[in-house]
Amino acid sequence: MAGQRRAGTWQAFAVSEFRLVWLAGLLSVVGDQLARVALSILVFERTESAAWSAATYALSMLPALISGALLAWLADRFPRRRVMVTCDLVRAALVAVMAVPGVPLWGLAVLLVLVQLVEAPFSAAQGAVLPEMLGARYEAGQAVQQVTTQLCLVLGFAAAAFVVAGVGAHAALAIDAGTFAISAVLIGAGLGPYPPAVGADGEPAVTSWWHRVVAGAVVVARDRRLGTLVWLGWLALFTVVPEGLAVPFAQQIGASGGWIGVILAAEPAGAVLGASLLRLIPRHARIRALGVLAVGTSVPLMAYWGQPPLGVALALLFASGVCSGYQVTAGATFVQLTPASVRGRALGFARTGMIAGQGIGVVLGGVLAQQFGASMAIAWAGTAGALVALAAAAAWSRREPAAISAVLPAES
């Protein structure tokens, strides 16, 4: 059975369009890690402020609070290939301007916000396309994406500090712009148009602008199963704090600049292992374990109250990442339970909350780190996250996970 499950996971690559979307996504992930590390190091060097460094990192997340509500509906209004290609080209142009030497920090901040505003419609369109593209292989495809994306995060974060030191921040940003351009070419050349679903599953077509904006939130609010899955996903706002504080934490414990990338890579490395291990157990067991694993993502961070040395800190981040593998199953379950006609907007709402929540978490973590140190800020995040996760786990147990598993499409 385990061997069959592993084979099933990689069967998603049999779909040629998935291979293109997968490759385009990985290119963008690698480029984005270079850009994030470059900007965080640049700001910390100029300001020597943990709060400003964290705020810069958060700027790659917070704009989603606006764009997800106002722009994610585009994925259900226009052909999804057109939405994705347009978003990639816009982001490539904006990041190319960021790469120009001499742009002041405030200008980089404005451009970064604009880049992230375009993220919501792209992600919503991509998320809406995958279940149509993969069918019964959808969760397998999600697992492949999660594992390989996390591997790219590991490699990207681990190498980013050295790359930035070697070629400079502006060259790193130019590389990021190039990844968006290549992604646009791959998607435009190899993906079908995927027109949006209208009136599917008995849902009325959404015509007015305001209804398009709130449709995703309404869908989630009407279904307690979706609402609890969103809650479980949004717990990432607590566990992202160590990423936002990687630069000041490394300085606090006396680690050299090269260790910044390793600190950033520890949690994604754990997530790779966690997502891989979860694919070895039956889906009904994965779904039942969501609440327990959600709690497990925050508990290791509570050990930062003891101000751990570098080796212990890396182990704690890795353990947190292993438990975070539950996000693959939670996300796939959310998509499969959502009606096709509003899937793009529902995904836009869920991802908007997650990304914006992560940005808020990083900002608050930076403020705490400025006052009490990076280690204490991470400990506060872990403690608060564990308490909120316990409530989410209790709510999930009331949603009858076994019944949810029974209504999902059969796995490939």
Residue located via tokens 């779909």: 15
pLDDT tens for 185-231 read 999 988 888 887 655 444 444 444 456 556 678 888 888 999 999 99
Q: What is the mean pLDDT of the chain?
A: 81
Helices (H), 299-342: 310-323, 326-337
Closest CA to 275 of 158, 137, 145, 138: 145
pLDDT value, residue 412:
54
Query: What is d(CA 382, CA 405) in angstroms, rounded to the nearest whole number?
Result: 30
Average pLDDT over residues 357-373: 86
Query: Is the pLDDT assigned to residue 123 strictly greater than 90?
Result: no
Q: Which amino acid is present at 139?
A: E
On whether the CB atoms of residues 344 and 81 are closer than 8 A, the answer is no
Ordered domains of the chain (ranges, CATH): 2-195+214-406 (1.20.1250.20)
Helix (H) or strand (E) holding 173: helix 169-190
Query: What is d(CA 62, CA 328) in angstroms, rounded to the nearest whole number?
Result: 22
Q: Is residue 378 helix, strand or coil?
A: helix
pLDDT tens for 70-102 read 676 677 778 889 999 999 999 899 989 988 888
Q: Is residue 349 helix, strand or coil?
A: helix
What distance separates the 2 farthest-apart alpha carbons in the chain?
59
Predicted confidence band of residue 302 (pLDDT cuts 50, 70, 90): very high
DSSP state of 197: P
- Structural tokens at position 119: 């993220």
Residue located via tokens 């490539």: 92
Q: Which residue has the higher pLDDT, 47 or 370?
A: 370
Query: Is the pLDDT assigned to residue 296 strictly greater than 80?
Result: yes
DSSP state of 49: -
Predicted confidence band of residue 272 (pLDDT cuts 50, 70, 90): confident
DSSP state of 409: P
Query: What is d(CA 255, CA 53) in angstroms, rounded to the nearest whole number?
Result: 17
